[in-house]
Amino acid sequence: MTSLRSTPSLGPLLARGALLSPFKRPRPGAAFAGDRLVVPELRVDVDRLSCYERVCGFATGGDGLPITYPHVLGFPLAMRIMSGRDFPLPLLGLVHTSIDITRRRALASTDAYELSVHIAELAPHRRGTQASVVTELRARPGGAVVWESTSAYLARHRTGTSAEPREAAPEPTPEREPLPVLDEWRLGGDVGRRYGAVSGDRNPIHLHPLTARLFGFPRAIAHGMWTVARCLAAHGTPSAVHAHADFRAPVLLPGTVAFASDGERFELRGTGRAGRVHVSGRVDPLRDPGGPPAQEPSSSS
């Protein structure tokens, strides 16, 4: 375990990861026994938090942390690990494919927390290797975990020879009724720059059309964590909750998307009858030991 006084700056970490990426050759069987990074006494910058709430559509003026905000707090620690020389997967091309979040109670923005991040495992995936990044927030050093997440990041590479047997086709799943559309959002071309300013994640693919084209995208794309935060802000979440989201296709900026939900499951998809699904997920309340949880205010603005 390595203890840090504060979270590191993201810019130099992203630059280091980009510079080292060409020298990393991911392959089947990659292993990593990395360190756990810990910030024992973390306090939230309430001004930055307020900006984040506005950009993501959460209600402002409260004293609690939105369900997705601890991910922003832990992201620099995750980047410090994944941009390091000993991490075997290249940072460039690493795709955030899903996130599971468990919040065990409401989190006051004025409290101090212990923040920690570690890589739980590198696992084989049919398209390459998947890293599971675990972020934990504790009420006090050594205390109980009050918020945790597991993010899956995929590095694509060859997984075997041509002689490797093909996977059996999955069993067909029953078709579900499409989720009802509750709102449509017109997204400006500056969404990536605005979210980058409040999260610190200024990856070039999110900022401008020109820099996004350098990485194969026709236009800038929205941050995956902005899309799920925006969905959960509109959906609303109890104080004690488990949320899961799969990032299925990038959202090009500017653009128009539809938010759909049945009260449990949610989707962000393109408009029209054949709209492509960008994000899908669900929200499940947990039993709060402190009593019936208050619903986190939703926002449709």
Question: CB neighbours of 163 closer than 8 A, spacing ≥ 6?
Answer: none
Averaged pLDDT for residues 91-102? 95
Q: Which of 31-35, 166-170, 295-299 has the highest mean pLDDT?
A: 31-35
Residue 33 pLDDT: 86
Rounded Cα distance between 92 and 94, Å, is 6
pTM, to two decimals: 0.88
Q: Output 171 or 68, whichever has higher pLDDT.
A: 68
Sign of CA dihedral 16, 137, 35, 129: negative
Q: Output 176 or 42, whichever has higher pLDDT.
A: 42
Residue 162 pLDDT: 41
Percent of the chain having pLDDT more than 90? 78
What DSSP line would sit under 191-241, residue for residue? HHHHHHHHH----GGGT-HHHHHTTT-SS-B--HHHHHHHHHHHH--BSSE
Q: Peptide bond before 254: cis, by omega within 30 degrees of 0? A: yes
Could you report the per-residue pLDDT of 251-281, keeping only the tens digit for each? Answer: 999 999 999 999 999 999 999 766 899 999 9
CB 221 within 8 A of CB 210: no
